[in-house]
């Protein structure tokens, strides 16, 4: 099951603010927390005490917590790849390795006696396949991408999918970050331009970022990289239907009730015998073969990418079929324009594969 998560950075905040944020996120169904020990510059005993208390509160609210580490953090806490007792004492749920040990030690850590899952960096070409061949415990391995504080440095989407597909092919869960657009957000470092994994997501509405990752159909856990996201953002994520690809639609002013019924009340699947021009959802045709969908004049010569159209009475055999335009096609009078997918939502349409389940989100015109 896909999990949604937040990030919390206690060294840059207050206990009261952090706990209030955690409570709000829990209210909206978030179940995972990312936090970072790389940027914590405090004595060992202070870290152990503070983060033990933090873990306890997080667990009371229903979260699992992953902490970002590297060999320097291990050394400071008195941990080794062969002994994770300090992390177990803090009740850490996931140990993320931002930096690596030796090959032998990276394999050994997956066999830690506490059964703590080890999270590897997904934004690099890490040879996890070779580690598994050499005895790493695949059942105790998970993957999480990086986030990128500096503008223009986030992963390109093709590279993101290349890395992701590699690790998913091994059967490993993969997590990635989206970014809040709230004012005055922060992360572990003094950079304040958002914290997404993919550069294309920086500045987009956060629900669109999340729905785009869902449409990619590869990401298991989605985490907000910066803190604190606005309550409106958490709410918008909580309202996403995570069971399918969803696109927002702006309805045409003259759309009919029958056409609205087709848009919103049917499960839509793109046909497997896919066209380059349109995504075809044929299921509504059965109910509308003996009903009328009157032709409605549309003054433009062509339908454009992102137009949502429904076959009308002028092509009665296919009447009721809902279609999404992928490339320019002639308006021959056999289809009614019923709405348009907003321009920024087209990144989701680009990921919609044949036979994938999809649906539409109602928007106020």
- 101-147 pLDDT tens trace: 999 999 999 999 999 999 999 999 999 999 999 999 999 999 999 99
Strands 245-251 and 329-330: unpaired
- 52-68 pLDDT tens trace: 999 999 999 999 999 99
pLDDT at 37: 94
pLDDT at 365: 52
State the pTM of this model: 0.96
CA-CA-CA-CA torsion sign (217, 219, 224, 226): negative
* Nearest-angstrom CA–CA distance, 188 and 36: 7
C-beta separation of 56 from 18 below 8 A = no
User: Quick count: other Cβ atoms within 10 Å of Cβ 88?
Assistant: 16
C-beta separation of 259 from 309 below 8 A = no
What are the phi and psi torsion angles at 148 (to 5°)? -130, 105
pLDDT at 40: 87
pLDDT at 99: 86
Q: Is residue 39's pLDDT more than 90?
A: no
Look at residue 50 and give its three-state secondary structure.
Answer: helix
Burial of residue 302 (CB within 10 Å: 0-12, 13-18, 19+) is exposed
* Nearest-angstrom CA–CA distance, 347 and 274: 19
For the chain, the helix, strand and coil percentages under 3-state DSSP, each to the nearest 5: 35, 20, 45
Nearest Cα neighbor of 229 from 216, 242, 238 is 238
What are the phi and psi torsion angles at 251 (to 5°)? -70, 150
* Nearest-angstrom CA–CA distance, 211 and 40: 33
- 187-238 pLDDT tens trace: 998 888 999 999 999 999 999 999 999 999 999 999 999 999 999 999 999 9
Nearest Cα neighbor of 332 from 285, 278, 283 is 278
């Amino acid at each position: 099951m896909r999990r949604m998560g937040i990030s919390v950075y206690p060294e840059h905040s207050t206990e009261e603010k952090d706990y209030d944020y955690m409570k709000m996120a829990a209210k909206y169904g978030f179940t995972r927390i990312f936090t970072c020990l790389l940027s914590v510059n405090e004595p060992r005993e202070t870290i152990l005490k503070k983060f033990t208390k933090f873990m306890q509160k997080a667990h009371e609210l229903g979260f699992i917590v992953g902490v970002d580490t590297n060999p320097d953090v291990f050394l400071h806490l008195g941990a080794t790849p062969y002994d994770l007792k300090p992390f177990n004492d803090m009740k850490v749920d996931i140990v993320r390795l931002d930096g690596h040990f030796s090959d032998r030690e990276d394999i050994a850590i997956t066999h830690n006696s506490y059964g703590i899952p080890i999270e590897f960096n997904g934004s690099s070409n890490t040879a996890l396949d070779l580690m598994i061949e050499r005895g790493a415990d695949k059942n105790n391995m998970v993957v999480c991408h990086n986030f990128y504080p500096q503008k223009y440095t986030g992963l390109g989407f093709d590279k993101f999918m290349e890395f992701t597909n590699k690790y998913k092919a091994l059967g490993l869960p993969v997590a990635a970050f989206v970014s809040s657009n709230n004012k005055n957000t922060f992360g572990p470092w003094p950079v304040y331009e958002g914290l997404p994994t993919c550069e294309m997501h920086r500045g987009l509405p956060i629900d669109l970022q999340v729905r785009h990752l869902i449409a990619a159909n590869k990401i298991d856990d989605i985490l907000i990289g910066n803190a604190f996201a606005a309550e409106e953002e958490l709410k918008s994520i909580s309202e996403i239907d995570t069971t399918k690809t969803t696109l927002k639609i702006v309805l045409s002013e003259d759309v009919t009730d029958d056409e609205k019924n087709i848009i919103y009340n049917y499960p839509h699947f793109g046909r497997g015998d896919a066209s380059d021009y349109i995504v075809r959802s044929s299921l509504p045709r059965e109910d509308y073969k003996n009903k009328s969908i009157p032709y409605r004049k549309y003054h433009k010569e062509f339908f454009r990418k992102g137009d949502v159209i429904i076959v009308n009475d002028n092509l009665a055999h296919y009447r009721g079929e809902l279609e999404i335009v992928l490339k320019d096609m002639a308006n021959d009078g056999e289809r009614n324009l019923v709405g348009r997918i907003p321009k920024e939502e087209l990144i989701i349409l680009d990921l919609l594969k044949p036979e994938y389940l999809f649906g539409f989100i109602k928007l106020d015109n």
